[in-house]
Structures are given as C-alpha cells and as structure tokens.
Chains A and B, each alone.
Chain A
C-alpha cells in the first residue's frame, strides 16, 4: 500500500478514535449540564486519545504489512570494496565492559573471515581522568587480543564539544574520507558480524540510501523491570517498528546507534549548528539523531529502518529511576525539537515526526491536567448528590457508569489491544514458539501489561516533572546512562519518589473532598503513585532463578542467546576474572573509580 494512503488512513483512525471518545465523554460529562470545564476536559481527553491511537496505528500498520510467515534467510557476506569504520563513542563508561563488546564483535567478524573490512574506532569523550586511564589500560588489552584481526583506533577529545554528535562529527572531519560507511554504536551496543556485513551489502545495493537503522533488542536485563522491557522489545517492537517503517517510507528514523550511515551523505547533510540562545532550548542539539535523519531526508537521501536486520543488541536501564533519568534527558532533547521543526526545507513528514517527539512527553501533562480538571469540575459546576444517606459508597446514575466504563475500555483498548493482537498473530505465524509457546507468550503479555499499568502513573509524574523543568528553563545536562545499575533499595526509591507518593495522596484527598464520584476511577492512577517507592524497589529486584525457570518474561535470549552475546559474556567473564597481565591490564576496573566518575556526572 502506498505510504501516503497508509498515512492518511492512520491519521483518520486517530481522528475517529478521538471523535468517538469525545462523543462518549460529552455524554458522560454533560449529565449535570455542560460548561467550559467540560469542554476543556473533552479537548484534553481527545488529544490524549489521538496520541494513544497513533501508537496503535503503528502496531496495526505493522500487523498488516508483511506476510504472516516471514522467512528471513541467513545473512551471507558478499564481496565488497567498501571500507567501513565502526564507531564506539564512550563517555565515562566502564571500559572493561565496553571493550568486551568490541572484542566480541571483532571475534564475530573474524569467524566470518571479514574482520579486515571493518576498522574499529573508540571515540572517547570521557571527562574523568581516572576512567580515561582505565580506558587506555584496557585498550592495550583489547589491542593485545584483537589487534591482529582488525584495525583499532583510540582517540580522546580534550573538550567534548557537541557531545555525541560532536564526537562523531569530529571523527568525520578527521578521518571520514577513508570510509564509505560508518556503523555508529553506543558503548553498550552489540552486533553480529553477519549483520554488519548485511548492512554494508544493503548500502552497496542502494546508492540513495543515506542511513539504515536496525532495531536493537535489549539483552542482559536482570531485574523484573529490565526483563519486562526486554520482553517488550523482543515481542512487540518488531511489529511496531515494521509499522513505523511502513508509515515513514523514505523518511525513516535514526535512533543514534546500531545504524549504518553513508559517510559522504552524513558529512554533507548533518553538520549540526548550535541553536541560538541558552539551554534547555538553545545550545547544542541534544536529541541529534532525529534531526540528522530529517537533514538527510532534506538533502534527498533515503533513511530507512529494516526490522528484519536481526543480530543487533543494546542494553537498557534495569530500574525505574535510571529509566526516568534517561527519560529526562530525552524529554529535554525532544522538546528542543520545537526549535528545529520549522527549519527551512524539511519534508512535511519530518516536521510531523518532530511534533510526535514533542507529543511523546507533552502527553503526560495533558493526562495530568485532565485528571485535575475532572477533580475540579464538580466544584466548578456544582455537584448533584451522589451520596444518598445511608451508604458508604457513591452512587452513579446507570447511564453514566456505562458510558464511563465504555470510555475506560476504549482508552485502555488502544493501549493493550494491539499487544493482544500481536499474541494472536504470533500464534498463527509461529513467532510465539520463541517465547515459550502461545500460552506462555499470552501470560507474559498480560504480566507485562499489568507491570506497565502499575508503573505508568509513576512515569507520568516523572515526565510531568521533566516537562515542567524544561519549560521553566532548567538544563538537565547530559548525564551518562547507568546501564549496569543494580537493584534500588527502598530508601533510595523513597528518596527518588516520595513526592510522587505525596502527590498521589493529595490527589486522592482532593478527590474524596470535591469529586467523590471519581475516586474509584482515580485509584487506578493514584494508588500506584502512593506506593511508588515500593513498586520502584520491588520491580528492580533481580529476577529470581525460579521466575526465569518458570518462564516469566521469557524471550529467545534466555533459551538461545545470540552468538555475539555469548561471546561478549565470555570475554567479560575472562577479563573480570583478572587474568594476570604484565602491564596490569587484567585488573578489573575498580568500582570506586566509576562511582567517582558517576558522582562527577
């Protein structure tokens, strides 16, 4: 189906959903007369619903886009004259871990006999001198083990101007002319050698292709929270990403890593200026990847995401607090897109993508405003008597309850409906076999829905805070992600989320006082907020061996881990085992060094 037809149908679907929800809401809110506060509530609900429907539209496009049984032939390296640099930008990360990833990727390429086609460049922006020393020490170790197989470079910038985008640009300005393509990674990225070779083959095959993005799957998740995300990216994301690919056409996404770029196209199109003014809206562009994708498209290059490019991996945060910290950074970057979306010459779809990026964070305050308006509405309008004596509980008119329930089912349906359809499709296509069978996949989907439903009201508060901070001019800086952070103690969770508990309690208190008919509905949101510290603490627990054996959040990563992942784990275990080395490079990096670097961040 033509991309434009898909886009129009998807937008119409969102408008239809927003219209239906508005009609139900008008019926529900107007039982005691309709006033300006109801109009505001309907507007907020319609906008939020349209946003939810847009997410569902991605899923439906993905579900309808490809044959049920998709056979992906194994990637076979083909001859090429292209030279490719694999860029590994690092910023105060643990070098032992990062370099074990590099060693595994070189090993994977070597096994295919194509390691000589790829040069690896560690591009350090590390600010902490001690961590930099460790990087130098461990680079020696990496060179000692892999130097004979692939060219290895290490460079540390004195100033980390432009952060990661500046780091990559600095490489291009120094060495770009040597390479046809650049594979851009993150410190926690892992890719199979065959996948890297296939990416080069696809770039060779399409001279207009400026950037090819893979869908990285999460590996090495340990906590319940991390494993829920790992299951989510393995089970749902391929379908959502296929939908994204179908809707975006030639103006696809760039997620900043696990992608290959045509060096000439990137250099010609992606030199990012500093925006006028000061952070958070001015200064360096934080969420640079989407901007770079838009600029490539502006210059006539194709940007594509190929979800069938398996063998691409990354790690994710293992607890809600680290997730929220990363989200704070992304929030500032995405809101900054408001400055970029009016850039001259951009394609209309690129501007729409920027709007989506902004909406991804503004949606939370809109939901919060809807809740506040709903609590305030009875006071502003005057409340009918919902508490007839005697009786402990509020009594709703029948029609209203039915409408409210339909409204709730409709809104939640947009969230969970696509996930259930993905399970059904997986049963027909055989995909569920990789997730322990359909029964297990369905159970895990329901568990994941329950987990995200409990954590979503907490994330809503973190996102509201992030948006308010950015709008009030607070620069969140650029802290590195703590991908190896373990579980969160109850006191740490309390320190990070007491204000969410307090907000939940106050919200419920106001609701009891001013809008008792909404209390039962509000409990869905406010109860998880009240128990936020406990939920953050429990979800960060390391998943027990028993739960893994029982198949909780089971993915193919549990039963049949990818060779490059196994290889990386073996290298890391060997290196952390502290195998003696004359220059001391076998010593594991002291956690104190990294902790001190964390503190400076």
Chain B
C-alpha cells in the first residue's frame, strides 16, 4: 500500500499528502428510461415522412 505520510519529513507541503493512485472504475448507471412519448412521436413522424 502506498503511504504518503512520512514522519521524517519536517515540512512537507500538502502535495505530499495527495491521494494514492489506485483507480477503480465507477461506471455511470442507467436511471432514466427512454422517453416513451418522444420515441412514439419520432416513430410516427418517420412513418408520415415515409408516406
């Protein structure tokens, strides 16, 4: 484990206490359904345009 704290360092700047780098992915979750009305309206428009 990376420890940035060094008791022997008399005057470390805050940069010396930056978070250790060990990335973990955090994918965005799906919270919203596609808008049904919008989708329906778009499909109707497409059908009309085709005709």
A residues whose Cβ falls under 8 Å from a Cβ of B = 83, 121, 136, 139, 143, 147-148, 151-155, 169, 171-178, 263-264, 267-273, 275-276, 285, 291, 295, 339-340, 342-344, 583
Contact = CB atoms under 8 A, between A and B. Distances in A.
Nearest to A266: B26
Contacts of B18: 153-155
A177 B24 contact: yes
B26 A267 contact: yes
27 contacts: A139-B14, A143-B5, A153-B4, A154-B17, A155-B17, A155-B19, A171-B19, A173-B25, A174-B21, A174-B22, A175-B19, A175-B20, A176-B22, A177-B23, A178-B1, A178-B2, A263-B24, A267-B25, A268-B26, A268-B27, A269-B29, A271-B29, A272-B29, A272-B31, A273-B29, A291-B31, A339-B32
B49 interface: no
Given A276-B32, A342-B33, A343-B32, A271 B26 contact: yes
A344 B33 contact: yes
A151 to B, nearest CB: 5
A151 B4 contact: yes
A177 B24 CA distance: 5
B7 interface: yes
A155 to B, nearest CB: 5
B28 A173 contact: no
A50 B28 CA distance: 36
Nearest to A276: B32
> Do most interface residues of chain B lie in helix, strand or loop, or is the interface mixed?
loop
Nearest to B27: A271
Contacts of A121: 19
B47 interface: no
Nearest to A135: B14
A461 to B, nearest CB: 32
Given A148-B7, A273-B30, A275-B31, 4 more contacts: A151-B5, A153-B19, A154-B17, A291-B31
Contact-residue bracket for chain B? 20 to 34
Contact of A154 (B11, B14, B31): B14
A153 to B, nearest CB: 5
B3 interface: yes
B24 A173 contact: yes
B1 A343 contact: no
A46 to B, nearest CB: 31
B30 A344 contact: yes
Given A178-B2, A263-B24, A267-B24, A153 B17 contact: yes
A177 B26 CA distance: 11
Given A176-B22, A178-B22, A152 B29 contact: no
Contacts of B31: 272-273, 275, 285, 291, 339-340, 343
A173 B27 CA distance: 10
Q: Most A CB atoms within 10 A — which of B11, B19, B23, B31? A: B31
A175 B22 CA distance: 4
Contact of A275 (B3, B21, B24, B32): B32
A178 B20 contact: yes
A267 B1 CA distance: 20
Contacts of A148: 7
Contacts of A270: 26, 29
Contacts of A291: 31
Given A155-B19, A339-B32, A172 B26 contact: yes
Contact of B5 (A147, A178, A583): A147
A383 B25 CA distance: 68
